[in-house]
Structure 1
């Protein structure tokens, strides 16, 4: 087929790129992250005398649990860099003196499909509490992969327990109800 007109060449190229985008979109599936757990209300004691400050930090007694799926198309894009689970505050009513922290415990990663010498591991976030920032996302942990990935591989991760801690509580912060949401995302490391 010979195309002479620049207009026709442009139309043919647009149509060709559109078809490629449709085919690629049908093959790629997005990675997921699921969160199980309940809202947490930190109970801070009442100050009974002048000069007494709050105790400091308060931990969430129940855990959030993260799980999800990383499709093979996403794994192929990552090569050996792995995936990063990040977190960020989305405050609704918050005082900047308050600090929210998270720490990970547990977690498993399972490779699905035929894979030669493959491993998937969850790393980081277990030693100390990590501050959850408002402006930029902080890394909670990473999921790294090794081995030769096949065509029908994917990774499921589950049981990533996250404990929250609030700090910066002080008599200098106005007494009111503060609230925020923690947004977890997963993407390329």
Structure 2
């Protein structure tokens, strides 16, 4: 009974990313414009219960993303990509596989409206007590559009990851 009460979960852990933009010291110069975080600034992990796996008509769960602008300039663009990741299938399952696909090249993160980041594909015949744990999905961010024409101040945004059927 408890497996029917479970919900899929996604966790993002890590620290904030502060971009260090060097000072312009000569007239006629501009900023590099694009800056990258470390490759593992954020790590994504989570859980897909058997009750959720049963609902996947396409056999895949989709991780989506968007950002909420806290203090933002629309000339700035956020991107992300993932590396790594592992899956573990729990319970009795016949010929089952769970793989993480997509999101390995930079994708632009839109403001307020979700866009697809990557999928977790599941195949096999479900048995008893099935679930999938996924972990060690490292996330890297990139920002572009940094320019002398954007007012100098601290800008911030919150990136939101969600998981659901594909």
Report the TM range for the smaller structure's normalisation.
over 0.9
Superposition deviation, residue 87 in structure 1? 0.8
Which of 91, 107, 114 in structure 2 is aligned with 1:137? 114
What's the CA shift string for 1:70-123, capped at 9, x where partnerless?
001110011333101111001110001000110100001111000000000000
Q: Map of 1:150-169 to 2, 5 A cutoff?
A: 150-169=127-146
Which of 75, 84, 98 in structure 2 is aligned with 1:97? 75
What do you get for the CA RMSD once the two structures are aligned? 1.5
Superposition deviation, residue 35 in structure 1? 1.3
CA distance, structure 1, for counterparts of residue 60 and residue 43 of structure 2 = 20
Q: Which has the higher contact order (CA 8 A, sep 6+)?
A: 2
Provide the residue aligned with 1:106 in structure 2: 84
In 2, are the aligned partners of 1:57 and 1:166 still within 8 Å (CA)?
yes
Instruction: Specify the SS of the correspondent of 1:107.
Output: strand
Instruction: Specify the SS of the correspondent of 2:51.
Output: helix
Instruction: Specify the SS of the correspondent of 1:184.
Output: strand
Structure 1, unpaired ranges of 5+: 1-22
In 1, are the aligned partners of 2:9 and 2:46 still within 8 Å (CA)?
yes
Structure 2, unpaired ranges of 5+: none
Q: Does 1:65 pair with 2:36?
A: no
Q: Normalising by structure 1, what TM-score? A: 0.83
Superposition deviation, residue 27 in structure 1? 2.3
Which of 31, 34, 49 in structure 2 is aligned with 1:54? 31
Which of 123, 129, 150 in structure 1 is aligned with 2:101? 123
Moved over 2 A (4+): 25-28
Superposition deviation, residue 26 in structure 1? 8.1
**Does 46-55 or 179-188 show the bigger shift?**
46-55
CA distance, structure 1, for counterparts of residue 98 and residue 86 of structure 2 = 8
Which of 149, 169, 172 in structure 1 is aligned with 2:126? 149
Q: Normalising by structure 2, what TM-score? A: 0.94
CA distance, structure 2, for counterparts of residue 185 and residue 147 of structure 1 = 24
Provide the residue aligned with 1:78 in structure 2: 56
The structure richer in strand per residue is 2
In 1, are the aligned partners of 2:59 and 2:123 still within 8 Å (CA)?
no
